[in-house]
Amino acid sequence: MNNYKLLPAFVFFLLLLPCSLMAQPTVLDRIVAIVGRECILLSDLNAQTEFYAFNNRIDPSAQGLKEQVLQAMINEKLILARAIEDTTISIREEDITSQLDALIAQRVQQAGSEQRLEELYGMPITKIKREFRDDTRKQMLVQTLQQMKFGDVQVSRREVEEFYALYKDSLPNVPEELDLYHIFKLPKVGEPALKATMAKAQSILDSIKIGGDFADFAKRYSEDKGTAGYGGDLGFARRGQFLKEFEEAVFSLKENQLANIVETPIGLHIMQLIERRGESVHARHILFKIERTSIDEESAKASLSALRDSALHGESFSDLAKRHSEDKESGPLGGLLGKFPISQFDQSLLDVVKNLKEGDISEPVDVSYGASKGFHIIYLKKRFPEHVINTTDDWKRLETLVTNAKRSQEYQQWLKQLHSEIYWDIRL
């Protein structure tokens, strides 16, 4: 559907002008759609189609796929146009910077290093940030408007009951689920290894304090392979992206201040805060890993075996987890991992729990913890067999289904309204 009648001819010309200028430098590219003051280029459409096809494991040349992707892109541009019109929505520059820094940090982690990311994009990190800044701002505008309109959608009990009565025969069965708890232990480092590594780290820290080049020491000694080549530079990161011990230390520093040596589950760190922007920090570090021996691992497993025996003899598993688990998230909750469909378990966890009965506790098994190996015991509190969905056992699940359906319905109605109120034109 085209909406030429909504715009005077001179406004239509003004909307075309920025898109035409953008399209000129790339001769092989062209505009495939215009939405408000935004345009969609063929290169963007092709890239999004390839991305969607890759993630969904389908042929990118499948009939109708490109048109479907284009419509989704138009919908997002329509929401953006309305968000720009809404004077109640404002995005702070520091929030854009924070979100962009987090995005770049994620991309660096996926690529393996900043250098590799720069090679993939064909430009330095500073330019990548400049290129992505406007897109990040637009994305935040869209997300903010969507949250404002649909974040508080609620359903009544009657709506849930009516939905169930209408669709109960077509709803899928609830898959088998397990309610799991665990107690986690990371092998303690032996005292001799800890002392030797601490002495090495302290020697380098002392050298930096009297004028040594932090970046040079990081390149020579840091065992963080992803950052060593960049002088230990971690880039900007927000709260929640670091290990707890590292985060507490780095957020307590002043700009350019060095911290005392910090121990985390992956080793010892020399760290320095370079810059802080609100809840984001730009820091650098030098990592010294401490090798754990088989004796350290056996000690952790023996500790868990003792806790297992205590639980099997009547002591509360949750109380033991609160006192002894080193999982900072589940420990305070009594070791609660949650209730999950068994189909979502990876093979290693499935191998542990598949033969457990309700009330059983596994023997100590190894589990990855970042770059380190830890151990845990798993308590199967309850099995929920596969069953036909019903209002007695699955009310919350049904409520979520109905809420999502209502939100989707209102969203589609809103999109239909935007299609009629904002200029758009497909030129594919």
246/268 same-domain check: yes
Q: Indicate the number of domains in the chain.
A: 3
Cβ neighbors of 265 (< 8 A, separation 6 or more) are 186, 243, 245, 369, 370, 372, 374
The pLDDT value given to residue 94: 85
182/258 same-domain check: no
69/14 same-domain check: yes
The pLDDT value given to residue 113: 74
360/306 same-domain check: yes
Q: Is the pTM of this model over 0.85?
A: no
82/213 same-domain check: no
Distance of CA 222 to the CA centre of its chain: 26
Select from 264, 288, 312 the last residue of a domain.
Answer: 288
Q: For residue 162, tell me if it sits in a domain.
A: no
Strands 267-277 and 262-264: antiparallel
120/202 same-domain check: no
Per the structure, the complete domain to which residue 270 belongs is given by 191-288
63/145 same-domain check: yes
Q: Give per-residue pLDDT as tens, 208-232.
A: 999 999 999 999 999 988 788 889 9
Select from 241, 261, 288 the last residue of a domain.
Answer: 288
Structure tokens at 114: 């900043």
Task: Tell me if 377 sits within 8 A of 307, measured CB to CB.
Answer: yes
Q: Give per-residue pLDDT as tens, 277-324.
A: 877 889 999 999 887 778 888 999 999 999 999 999 999 999 999 999
Cβ count within 10 A of residue 270: 25
122/21 same-domain check: yes
Q: For residue 396, tell me if it sits in a domain.
A: no
Q: For residue 329, tell me if it sits in a domain.
A: yes
Q: For residue 160, tell me if it sits in a domain.
A: no
Exposed/middle/buried for residue 411 (C-beta within 10 Å: 0-12, 13-18, 19+): middle
Q: Give per-residue pLDDT as tens, 118-148.
A: 888 888 888 888 888 998 999 999 999 999 9
Q: For residue 401, tell me if it sits in a domain.
A: no
Strand partners of residue 269: 262, 287
The pLDDT value given to residue 184: 94
Quick check: 21 pLDDT over 50? Answer: no
272/241 same-domain check: yes
CATH of the domain at 24: 1.10.4030
**Comparison of pLDDT for 266 and 71, the residue scoring more:** 71
**Comparison of pLDDT for 110 and 419, the residue scoring more:** 419
31/48 same-domain check: yes
Q: For residue 130, tell me if it sits in a domain.
A: yes
Exposed/middle/buried for residue 287 (C-beta within 10 Å: 0-12, 13-18, 19+): buried
Q: For residue 282, tell me if it sits in a domain.
A: yes
Select from 253, 288, 323 the last residue of a domain.
Answer: 288
271/337 same-domain check: no
Task: Tell me if 83 sits within 8 A of 137, measured CB to CB.
Answer: no
Task: Tell me if 349 sits within 8 A of 356, measured CB to CB.
Answer: no
Q: For residue 142, tell me if it sits in a domain.
A: yes
The pLDDT value given to residue 409: 94
CATH of the domain at 361: 3.10.50.40
The pLDDT value given to residue 3: 38
118/35 same-domain check: yes
